[in-house]
């Protein structure tokens, strides 16, 4: 299993380096796992796997992992299936391994297109690999033949000694690291319930039954979105109530802690801020996974909704008003008998983090990068300047020139808010006979679907480009007011941007038709 771990870490590195490219969408891949296959069910080992949901700027691929016997030259497939967003997989219609240097005799290839990993091309590569191995072995044999009688016993003794010392050190290190992790987790989990699962939706969760639990997990119904570092958002059921479950793996524990701290602040119960229900821990030690349970929003994210739907002026006004109302609540300090709520900067506001309910009311979600401006303790949260989604970063964030003050971070949110309002306006049909406008993300025409940080710096900071506003939008009195508000919120100068309370007053003053 340590071989698989090495390969998976390598694949994670490739995935984090994904760049903009044209891609063919995958829906199905051939699936196979050597560990779960035996002679009795060999004919049923190879199946067709449906790839899971992807984000708006990511793609699915197919992969194959196989082993080469350096002595016989025989190959054996270990695993096949779906793989998420690897730059080395773009524009490959066939699964071909071109790297002659294998890791632990294991080879990997990936490709685009349904079932493209059905046939793997590696014969020529294997032949070249074997020729290189034979040539190297011939040279080594000639050198070793002259000295093997003298050095083999000494080498074996040194190797055994090194092996014993290495195993001892690794064992000591692992015990201490495990204790450190468990200490950190125990501090972070005060008041968090430890749970076992009753769901069969994911095998990883069925392994958490081996320890004592204080509760039962919700029944997982449908995976709605993929998160960072292997996390996910599920539609679930608990006590006959439909809820949303957001899962955080241990590596993303900091985001879970930040979200939990934001949700647990006083006065966070607002109709335009996602409502928190509960928090759970699943698994133990290094296998721990943290869950946040919130209300379920029937229409999903604003981004997904706008991809397939247009909105009327009344619907746009309602959605825009609720977005700005939620953002104003986050930015506001509230002090009363119920406690003190400090100002909060979201720092990753975008259309995928705005959720819609069945009656078209929006609420703001995902506070993993939020900053809490406590009066006594200062700023609480991740204070790195370049965080968030490249497409929605304000000019000062792209330039790394943020003034670390509350007002500066709130102005960054207002820039992102203007882009979300532009997305909403781009899908608004204000009168009969209007041609339906296709949905595009902000700056998609200028930088494409997967912009890099350098792309956005050149577009937004250097060229000072902003999303295009057609003149036809200004022909409608309501959209004209929205356009003026957007332009004032995406101003290059952060101090010139409107505040959330000012935008809320403007939109509130606009009447429905």
Nearest 5°: the CA angle 92, 97, 99 is 120
Sort 292 into a burial class: Cβ within 10 Å, 0-12 / 13-18 / 19+. buried
Kindly state the DSSP code that residue 335 receives in the 8-state scheme: E
Sort 412 into a burial class: Cβ within 10 Å, 0-12 / 13-18 / 19+. buried
* Cα–Cα distance measured from residue 369 to residue 342, given in angstroms and rounded to the nearest whole number: 16
Residue 428's φ and ψ, nearest 5 degrees, are: -90, 125
Task: Point out the catalytic residue in the list 348, 366, 413, 455.
Answer: 348
Secondary structure of residue 220 in the 3-state scheme = strand
Residue 222's φ and ψ, nearest 5 degrees, are: -155, 130
Q: How far is CA 351 from CA 172, 438, 440, 466, 494, in A?
A: 48, 16, 11, 17, 21
Q: Nearest CA to 132 among 144, 121, 140?
A: 140
How many CA atoms within 13 Å lie on the side-chain side of 388?
29
SS (H, E, C) 368-433: CCCEEEECCCEEECCCCCCCCCHHHCCHHHHCCCCCCCHHHHHHHHHHHHHHHHHHHHHCECCCCC
Cβ of 58: how many Cβ atoms within 10 Å? 15
* Cα–Cα distance measured from residue 424 to residue 354, given in angstroms and rounded to the nearest whole number: 11
Give the containing element (helix H, strand E) for 201: none
CB-based contact 421:351 (threshold 8 Å):
no
Torsion sign over Cα 22, 17, 396, 381: positive
* Cα–Cα distance measured from residue 344 to residue 375, given in angstroms and rounded to the nearest whole number: 12
* Cα–Cα distance measured from residue 89 to residue 14, given in angstroms and rounded to the nearest whole number: 10
Q: Identify whether 348 is a catalytic site residue.
A: yes
The runs of H, that is alpha helices, within 243-356 are 253-263, 302-308, 313-331
* Cα–Cα distance measured from residue 220 to residue 198, given in angstroms and rounded to the nearest whole number: 9
CB-based contact 122:75 (threshold 8 Å):
yes
Kindly state the DSSP code that residue 311 receives in the 8-state scheme: B
What residues are annotated to the active site? Answer: 348
């Amino acid at each position: 299993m340590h071989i698989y771990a090495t390969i998976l870490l390598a694949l994670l590195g490739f995935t984090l380096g994904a760049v903009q490219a044209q891609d063919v969408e995958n829906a199905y891949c051939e699936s196979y796992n050597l560990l779960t296959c035996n002679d009795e069910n060999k004919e049923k080992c190879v199946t067709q796997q449906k790839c899971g949901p992807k984000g708006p700027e990511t793609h699915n691929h197919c992969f194959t992992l196989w082993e080469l016997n350096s002595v016989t030259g025989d190959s054996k497939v270990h695993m096949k299936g779906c793989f998420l967003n690897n730059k080395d997989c773009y524009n490959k219609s066939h699964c071909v391994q071109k790297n002659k240097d294998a890791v632990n005799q294991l080879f990997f290839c990936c490709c685009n297109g349904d079932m493209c990993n059905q046939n793997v091309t590696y014969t020529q590569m294997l032949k070249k690999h074997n020729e290189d191995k034979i040539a190297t072995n011939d040279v080594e044999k000639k050198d070793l033949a002259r000295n093997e009688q003298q050095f083999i016993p000494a080498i074996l003794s040194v190797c055994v000694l090194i092996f014993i010392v290495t195993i001892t050190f690794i064992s000591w290190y692992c015990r201490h690291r495990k204790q450190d992790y468990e200490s950190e987790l125990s501090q972070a989990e005060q008041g968090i319930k430890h749970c076992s699962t009753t769901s069969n939706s994911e095998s990883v969760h069925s392994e958490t039954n081996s320890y004592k639990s204080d509760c039962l997990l919700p029944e997982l119904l449908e995976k709605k979105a993929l998160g960072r570092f292997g996390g996910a958002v599920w539609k679930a059921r608990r006590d006959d109530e439909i809820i949303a479950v957001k899962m955080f793996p241990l590596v993303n524990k900091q985001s879970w802690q930040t979200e939990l701290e934001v949700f647990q602040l006083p006065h966070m119960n607002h109709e335009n801020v996602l409502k928190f229900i509960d928090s759970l821990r699943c698994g133990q030690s290094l296998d721990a996974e943290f869950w946040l349970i919130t209300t379920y929003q029937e229409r999903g994210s604003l981004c997904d909704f706008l991809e397939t739907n247009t909105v009327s002026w009344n619907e746009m006004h309602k959605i825009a008003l609720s977005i700005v109302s939620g953002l104003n609540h986050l930015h506001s300090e509230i002090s009363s008998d119920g406690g003190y709520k400090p100002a909060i900067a979201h720092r990753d506001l975008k259309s995928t983090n705005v959720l819609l309910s069945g009656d078209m009311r929006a609420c703001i979600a995902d506070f993993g990068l939020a900053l809490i401006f406590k009066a006594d303790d200062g700023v609480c949260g991740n204070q790195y300047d370049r965080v968030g989604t490249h497409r929605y970063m304000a000019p000062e964030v792209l330039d790394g020139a943020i003034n670390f003050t509350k007002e500066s971070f709130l102005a960054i949110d207002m820039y992102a808010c203007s882009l979300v309002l532009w997305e909403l306006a781009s899908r608004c049909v204000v009168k009969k006979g209007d041609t339906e406008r296709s949905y595009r993300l902000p700056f998609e025409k200028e930088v494409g679907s997967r912009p890099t940080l350098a792309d956005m710096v050149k577009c937004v900071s250097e060229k000072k480009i902003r999303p295009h506003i057609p003149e036809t939008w200004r022909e409608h009195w309501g959209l004209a007011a929205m356009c003026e508000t957007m332009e004032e919120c995406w101003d290059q100068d952060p101090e010139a941007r409107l505040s959330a309370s000012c935008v809320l007053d403007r939109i509130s003053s606009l009447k429905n038709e």
